[in-house]
Amino acid sequence: MTMKLAVFDCDGTLVDGQADICQTMVQAFEKARLSPPDANDVRRIVGLSLSVAIRHLAPDLDDAKSREIVELYKAAYFARRQEGLLNEPLYDGIPELLTALQAAGWTLAVATGKSDRGLQSVLAAHGLTDTFVSLQTADRHPSKPHPAMLEAALFEAGAQPSEAVMIGDTSFDMEMGRAAGVRAIGVAWGYHPPEELLATGAELVAGTMDELHAALEQHA
């Protein structure tokens, strides 16, 4: 039986965490006594590893100040989680899509710019802890679009690149898929526009869960 591996991004693909990310980034910059970035700029870097994201948002900062903001962001995000303030809802239709894919013989994985702790927390909150056979995060890999996350997911699932698809909402996901030799499908409900996803390697951009499901089954 041919392996079918679907690797999902998290923020902007499975869950909508942009409000928490934007608010926490503002807190981190303000605690570092710096003007916070515009929310649209923050949405643009969702999916990158945190240190890389900070360099994109504030390229003129020295390394010490960048590291300070990284640590302030981590601390603020952890505090929000501990206080029960995080709101990372699943996009409508995600549970049904994942169930349908598993029933059709798909193996599922995640490749995300989140930390291990952040990903485990959001999966546990939505009862998805046992859904994915491979969880790849920024804690153990270079930032997207480097292919290391996808390569690790392929290895853990026992899949070849030709048997896998990367599903995400950003150009970083599409570029990562291309770098790993994996098909890439974009989703239109996340943080980068469809035309950008197509320009960076998406074979198509799904506008709804039904379109995504149909695209995966058509090319399985």
Tens-digit pLDDT profile for residues 160-177: 999 999 999 999 999 999
pLDDT beyond 60 at 104 = yes
Choosing among 3.90.650.10, 3.30.70.20, 3.40.50.1970, 3.40.50.1000, the CATH entry for 5-16+90-218 is 3.40.50.1000
Q: Looking at the chain, which residues constitute the CATH 3.40.50.1000 domain(s)? A: 5-16+90-218
Distance CA 172, CA 113 (A): 10
pLDDT beyond 80 at 1 = no
Distance CA 21, CA 44 (A): 11
Domain 18-82 falls under CATH 1.10.150: yes
Across the chain, mean pLDDT equals 95
Q: Looking at the chain, which residues constitute the CATH 1.10.150 domain(s)? A: 18-82
pTM beyond cutoff 0.85? yes
